[in-house]
């Protein structure tokens, strides 16, 4: 292994997230594991996102500025191409990685060489940084893929896997809402997925909206039809499409009836106090360690 190269490459596509990106980058900078590179790809932002990231004086951060907006899938593929690490991971410009995330995931991947992609739990917080929920993933490949028309249960932002796998299995260009589910669905028969119980990332949710979930479901229906035919899997074409179509109908009904927000709030599992306390400690540590030359993000 070449010590001059980073072992972990993190791709962070960003778009108009000047209010949150400083905390996201800082959460990477203060990782307990140090041999990483952060590839920030600006997807045509019109605000000060790039300016804020450029104020971090860390040679491990690489900024690529693109003038046009091509979407998350295209930029993640670009980040994979640019990666020099043996492992590639995800990060968003409005979320916060826990300080031991890289160390924990790397240790797991080294112990389990058969695992291609590893995820973990996420804590959901609001615009003020207050914890509001906890999503725990499925832990093993068989459980994740038993009903591929349901949820795989491996939050996208927590992924770290082998760079070689991401290069063999690129994100589908044009996928705008369900990039992760489409990729898992397409690659599940030739891959091994896993997840840890540990909370790895704090995920910011300012406003839950079915305007995002309905297009994602429609996109995934198309993926199931495509993969059902390609993989000769009748259950995707029958059960899968029927289940996802029913969810689309229920979500649309919730929007029409005005119960959208109440319905979606119930989809966020409650957060135990110990997880809340840990998140508050992580949040405060990130904010307190922000470099002095970077203005405190507006919340």
For 58-95, how does the pLDDT look when each residue is reduced to its tens digit (9 = 90+)? 999 999 998 887 888 899 999 999 999 999 999 999 99
pLDDT, average across residues 1-17: 85
d(CA 177, CA 159): 17
pLDDT band with cut points at 50, 70 and 90 for residue 252: low
CB proximity list for 59: less than 8 A, separation 6 or greater: none
Cα dihedral: 100, 101, 102, 106 (round 10): 100
Mean pLDDT of the chain: 86
Residue 2 pLDDT more than 50? Answer: no
Residue 259 pLDDT more than 60? Answer: no
Q: Residue 134 has which token pair?
A: 């906890």
d(CA 104, CA 291): 25
Mind listing the pLDDT tens digit for each residue in 90-148?
999 999 999 999 999 999 999 999 999 999 999 999 888 899 889 998 899 999 988 87
Contact present, 27 and 99 (Cβ < 8 Å): yes
**According to DSSP H, which parts of 171-295 are helical?**
179-187, 210-230, 234-235, 241-257, 260-265, 273-288
pLDDT band with cut points at 50, 70 and 90 for residue 238: confident
């Amino acid at each position: 292994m070449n010590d001059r190269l980073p072992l972990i490459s993190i791709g962070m596509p960003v778009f108009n997230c000047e209010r949150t990106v400083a905390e996201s980058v800082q959460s990477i900078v203060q990782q307990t594991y140090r041999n990483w590179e952060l590839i920030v790809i600006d997807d045509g932002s019109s605000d000060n996102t790039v300016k804020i990231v450029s104020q971090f004086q860390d040679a491990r951060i690489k900024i690529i500025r693109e003038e046009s907006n091509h979407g998350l899938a295209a930029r993640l593929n670009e980040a994979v191409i640019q990666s020099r690490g043996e492992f590639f991971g995800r990060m968003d410009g409005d979320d916060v990685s826990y300080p031991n995330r890289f160390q924990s995931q790397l240790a797991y991947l080294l112990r389990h060489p058969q695992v291609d992609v590893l995820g973990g739990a996420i804590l959901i917080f609001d615009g003020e940084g207050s914890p509001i929920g906890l999503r725990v993933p499925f832990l093993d490949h068989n459980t994740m893929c038993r009903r591929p028309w349901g949820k795989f249960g491996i939050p996208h932002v927590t992924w770290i896997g082998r760079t070689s796998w991401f290069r063999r299995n690129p994100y589908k260009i044009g996928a705008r809402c369900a990039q992760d589910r489409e990729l898992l669905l397409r690659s599940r028969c030739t891959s091994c997925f896993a997840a840890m119980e540990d909370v790895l990332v704090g995920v910011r949710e300012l406003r839950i909206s079915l305007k995002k979930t309905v297009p994602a479901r429609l996109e995934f229906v198309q993926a199931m039809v495509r993969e059902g035919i390609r993989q000769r899997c009748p259950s995707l074409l029958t059960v899968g499409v029927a289940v996802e179509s029913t969810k689309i109908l229920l979500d649309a009904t919730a929007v029409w009836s005005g119960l959208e927000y109440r319905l979606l709030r119930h989809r966020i599992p409650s957060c135990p106090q110990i997880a809340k306390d840990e998140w508050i400690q992580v949040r405060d540590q990130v904010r307190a360690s922000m470099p002095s030359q970077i203005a405190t993000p507006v919340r």
